[in-house]
C-alpha cells in the first residue's frame, strides 16, 4: 500500500515538496557557510594588514632610533667646534642633512622647553624649584621625537615643581 501512495500524484507532490524543502535548507546552510567564510577572510586580511603596519612601524622605529643617536652625538660634537672651523662647518652641514632626511621620513621634534609637562611626550629626569610655572619644562637634556604623530622617543626634561 505504501508503494501505491508514493505513485499517486498526491504522494509525488509530497515527496517533491520534501525534496524542495531539503534543497532550500541545504542552499541556506551553504550560503551561511559562504558568508561566514567571506567574513573570516576579510577579518584575516585586516588582521594581517594591521600586523604588517605594526611590523613596519617597529622596523622604522628601530632604524630611526639609531639615526637619532647619531644626530645626538653630532650635536654634542658641534658644542666643541668653533664657528670658523672648517671641520665644524662640515659637521654642521652633515647634521642639517641628517635632520632633513629624518624630516622626510616623518620625524618631528617634540616641543619641550617652556611647554607644559606631558608624560606622554616627556620623561622627567629632574624636578627643580624656581620662578617658572609649576609642571612647566625648564630644560631639555635630550630631544624627543615623533614619527607620523606617534612617539618615537620621549624628551628627557627638567620640570618646575609646584611650590
Beta bridge partners of 137: 159
**What's residue 6's pLDDT?**
52
Which grid coordinates belong to 69? Answer: 643617536
Segment 125-131 shows an average pLDDT of 88
Residue 1 pLDDT class (50, 70, 90 cuts): very low
CA 61 vs CA 13, 71, 98, 107: distances in Å: 71, 15, 16, 10
CATH match for 108-163 among 2.30.22.10, 3.30.450.40, 3.40.50.720, 3.40.50.300: 2.30.22.10
Q: What is the DSSP letter of 15?
A: H
Three-class SS state of 140: strand
Segment 114-133 shows an average pLDDT of 90
Q: Over the Cα atoms of the chain, what is R_g? A: 34
Q: What are the pLDDT digits (tens) for 33-77? A: 999 999 999 999 999 999 999 999 999 999 999 999 999 999 998
How many other β-carbons are positioned within 10 Å of the β-carbon of residue 118? 16
pTM over 0.85: no
Amino acid at each position: 500500500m505504501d508503494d501505491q501512495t508514493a505513485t499517486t500524484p498526491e504522494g509525488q507532490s509530497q515527496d517533491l515538496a520534501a525534496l524542495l524543502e531539503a534543497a532550500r535548507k541545504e542552499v541556506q546552510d551553504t550560503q551561511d557557510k559562504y558568508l561566514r567564510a567571506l567574513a573570516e577572510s576579510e577579518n584575516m586580511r585586516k588582521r594581517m594588514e594591521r600586523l604588517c603596519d605594526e611590523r613596519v612601524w617597529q622596523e622604522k622605529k628601530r632604524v630611526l632610533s639609531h639615526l637619532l643617536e647619531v644626530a645626538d652625538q653630532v650635536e654634542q660634537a658641534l658644542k666643541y667646534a668653533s664657528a670658523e672651523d672648517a671641520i665644524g662647518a662640515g659637521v654642521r652641514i652633515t647634521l642639517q642633512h641628517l635632520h632633513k632626511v629624518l624630516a622626510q621620513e616623518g620625524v618631528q621634534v617634540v616641543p619641550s622647553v617652556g611647554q607644559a609637562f606631558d608624560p606622554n611626550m616627556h620623561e622627567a629626569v629632574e624636578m627643580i624649584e624656581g620662578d617658572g610655572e609649576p609642571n612647566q619644562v625648564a630644560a631639555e637634556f635630550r630631544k624627543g621625537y615623533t614619527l607620523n604623530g606617534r612617539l618615537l622617543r620621549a624628551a628627557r626634561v627638567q620640570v618646575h615643581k609646584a611650590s
